[in-house]
């Protein structure tokens, strides 16, 4: 009885080995689209433009006035931010609507679990003034 089981097991292994073949994945399967990033830094804390208008959604890019928003923090504001948070946050960001929240004051998002940004009429999010005033 044991010999029959062992022989059956060995035959099963040979059969599986002879039937096994490598399966190659199809080459033309489209990859899943990458999820949109949570936030684009539009203007950093030094006033440098990080995201050109052609990378923003069309509705936001039409309203954004880069000459008006590309402002750096003053030296005192920068020193205050470094002292309080050990970093200088971006001044203006773009956040996709899926990651925003609503309140009575308006639409906002929380960047890096630390900084609150409020949406303005141009569709971009600006750092809350309480951080640097």
Looking at the predicted structure, is the pLDDT value of residue 15 above 70?
Answer: no
- Residue 79 phi/psi, 5° resolution? -65, -40
Is 5 a domain residue?
no
Residue 109 burial (CB < 10 Å; 0-12/13-18/19+)? buried
Is 30 a domain residue?
no
Looking at the predicted structure, is the pLDDT value of residue 133 above 70?
Answer: yes
What percentage of the chain exceeds 90 in pLDDT? 47
Is 16 a domain residue?
no
Q: State the pLDDT at residue 119.
A: 94
Is 122 a domain residue?
yes
Overall domain count for the chain? 1
Domain that holds residue 111: 39-131
Is 32 a domain residue?
no
Tell me the H-state helices in the chain.
2-19, 58-63, 66-69, 75-85
Q: What are the distances in angstroms from CA 5 to CA 2, 9, 84?
A: 5, 6, 74
Choose among 42, 88, 40: nearest CA to 65.
Answer: 42
Is 11 a domain residue?
no
Q: State the pLDDT at residue 14.
A: 64
User: Tens digit of pLDDT for each residue in 62-96?
Assistant: 999 998 999 999 999 999 999 999 999 999 999 98
Is 4 a domain residue?
no
Mean pLDDT for the chain overall: 82
| pLDDT confidence bin for 56, thresholds 50/70/90 | confident
| pLDDT confidence bin for 31, thresholds 50/70/90 | low
């Amino acid at each position: 009885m044991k010999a029959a089981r062992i022989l059956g097991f060995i035959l099963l292994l040979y059969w599986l080995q002879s039937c096994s073949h490598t399966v190659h994945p199809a080459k033309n399967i489209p990859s899943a689209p990458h999820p949109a990033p949570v936030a684009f830094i539009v203007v950093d804390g030094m006033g440098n433009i990080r995201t050109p208008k052609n990378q923003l959604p069309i509705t936001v890019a039409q309203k954004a006035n880069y000459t008006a928003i590309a402002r750096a923090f003053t030296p005192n504001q920068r020193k205050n931010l470094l002292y309080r948070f050990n970093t200088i946050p971006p001044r203006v960001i773009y956040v996709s609507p899926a990651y925003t929240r609503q309140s009575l004051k308006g639409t906002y998002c929380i960047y890096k679990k630390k900084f609150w940004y409020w949406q303005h009429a141009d569709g971009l999010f600006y750092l809350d003034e309480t951080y640097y005033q």
